[in-house]
Amino acid sequence: PMTGGVILFGRNFKNRAQVTKLIRAIRAVRPNIIISVDHEGGRVQRFKTDGFAHLPSMRTLGELYTKNPLRALKVASQVGYVLAAELRAVGVDYSYTPVLDLDYGGSTVIGDRAFASSATDVAVLAKALLHGMLQAGMVGCGKHFPGHGFVVADSHVDMPVDTRGLKKILADDVLPYAHLAQDLGAVMPAHVIFSQVDKRPAGFSPRWLGEVLRDQLGFAGAIISDDLSMQGARQIEGQQLSMRDGVLAALQAGCDLALVCNQSLNGGQVLDDVLDGLSEAVVKGWCELNDASELRRRALMPSAPAPSWKALMRSAAYMQALEALALV
């Protein structure tokens, strides 16, 4: 009961029939669980074979935007539609996309995953992509709030620190979130410390999640932590938290869902410990089950059934979208 969703990776995908069967088996246990995947396009695309279209990187869309803005917006919308429609046809509810980080040129972990260096360009391209996703019945997740593009360090292996002040970050990196606050189903905070704002990483910061994202920007969707398995994820005020304590800290800071990836291997003992810890925390009053969080979680799920893969392949909207992608 403490499990809100399942995230799939490339290792979980052999072919469409297999992954569809896997998802149906999961739903047989929990019909209302969210099945998600980190599927952005470019180098972050988990399903690439057996009919899945190869989606361009977001930078490719940004480069097109500088040459032909109207065409780029149309293509971005078609990318969003293909991305979401294909995933939904095999049973996936949700993808952690789009990246809203600005491309400052120094971050290798972000790099071509970002649309552009301009906050305005990022916002308008992301809005077009989200529109396409919504046409296929899927909402999007903006990441990595308030911005991961300025720091060089990779939070998969280190804890990045951004020394800029709040005014500068709000004026630049946060602008896409302000523009898209009503369009996003979820936001994923960065595993980055913004040292002039808070000593805690953004994903563990009530100031960033509560005061800025919720109160100042008016965001009402779900907040989902980035992967808490990352090396730099659980360093809080000089301490390295256990996975269990990291999950609790993320939820207590304002996250609705805590993402723990790559821990289901070798029997999944880490996940068992986390889930047992959550149950204990609820019983002892350290953590409350939040009805609002559950409503936000459920809002991430599609509201209407998706067409089968066969029906999708024959649909006019899908074929037109593929034609647009072929010209990128």
Phi, psi of 241 (to 5 degrees): -75, 150
Strand (E) or helix (H) holding 239:
strand 239-240
Among candidate residues 154, 156, 158, 245, the one labeled active-site is: 156
226 catalytically annotated: yes
156 catalytically annotated: yes
Torsion, Cα of 70, 71, 73, 75 (10° steps): 170
* Contact partners, residue 149, CB within 8 Å, separation at least 6: 101, 102, 103, 104, 107, 110, 114, 173
Among candidate residues 198, 226, 227, 256, the one labeled active-site is: 226
CA dist 219 and 178 (Å) reads 8
Q: Do the Cβ atoms of 164 and 194 come closer than 8 Å?
A: yes
Phi, psi of 262 (to 5 degrees): 60, 25
Q: Mind giving me the DSSP string for 277-314? A: HHHHHHHHTSS---HHHHHHHHHTS-SSPPPPHHHHHT
Q: Around Cβ 276, how many Cβ atoms within 10 Å?
A: 12
Nearest-Å Rg of the Cα atoms of the chain is 19
- The structure tokens 């998969």 sit at 156
The set of catalytic residues is 156, 226
